[in-house]
Amino acid sequence: KQEVTQIPAALSVPEGENLVLNCSFTDSAIYNLQWFRQDPGKGLTSLLLIQSSQREQTSGRLNASLDKSSGRSTLYIAASQPGDSATYLCAVRNTGFQKLVFGTGTRLLVSP
Amino acid sequence: SAVISQKPSRDICQRGTSLTIQCQVDSQVTMMFWYRQQPGQSLTLIATANQGSEATYESGFVIDKFPISRPNLTFSTLTVSNMSPEDSSIYLCSVDRAGRETQYFGPGTRLLVL
């Protein structure tokens, strides 16, 4: 059974810092991995999708990497801004299955 | 990307009643998913809804408690039946456009059961 864990559970940084969010999964037989952002009381916004054959994906100040063999992904946020404050969720989709398995989330607070 | 709307956006309900949540997508999709997010928790899949067939429920969720309809390729409903305070959660509809690729989520329905 796939289990997804995110560390840290919460992170507070001053504006301008570069930061890394971590995601680990127990079953390396994944099809893809997706990072989402969730603002309080809202739905999810897809940030980046990494296929199992890829090592990383970039979008603006965001860079996500994937090391399938070790069961890890990181989300790197450059030059953080207060508007980045949200909960970040990673989710994996296993080979042969349709459903996403979500991590526990990292709550990020960027202070001005 | 997919545009997904949900109704209602939020509701406060009394114990023992039922609430039906609607999910509308801007284009035809094969699979629609219903998730629950309890306070302070991550997302848990309730069921997968395919058009023209019965929904497939995850372990711990049953059709009597969470009946789902999928009358066409752009619409689905989830009913939360005989509600109790433990059902207070955000319920999210999700679609998968191209089959196991990027998954998109609706804005969610925030439910409070008193």
The string of DSSP codes covering A91-112 is: EEEETT---EEE---EEEEEE-
Paired residues of B44 in beta bridges: B36
- Kindly list the residues from chain B whose CB atom is less than 8 angstroms away from the CB atom of residue A102: 42-44
Closest CA to B32 of B59, B72, B60, B67: B72
Would you call A63 helix, strand, or coil by DSSP? strand
> Average pLDDT of B104-112?
94
Residue A41 DSSP code = T
pLDDT bin (cut points 50, 70, 90) of residue B99 is low
pLDDT (0 to 100) of residue B54: 85
Q: How far apart are CA B42 and CA B36, in angstroms?
A: 8
- Kindly list the residues from chain A whose CB atom is less than 8 angstroms away from the CB atom of residue B31: 98
pLDDT tens figures, B34-51: 999 998 888 999 999 988
At B87, give phi and psi (nearest 5°): -85, -5
Percent of chain B residues topping a pLDDT of 90: 75
Closest CA to B20 of B98, B60, B104, B76: B76
Closest CA to A21 of A51, A48, A41: A48
Q: How many CB pairs under 8 A join A and B?
A: 49
Both structure tokens of A111:
């202070």
**CA of B18 vs chain A CAs: smallest distance (Å):** 22
Residues in chain B: 114
**CA of B66 vs chain A CAs: smallest distance (Å):** 18
pLDDT (0 to 100) of residue A72: 97
Closest CA to B25 of B91, B69, B72, B90: B72
**CA of A101 vs chain B CAs: smallest distance (Å):** 8
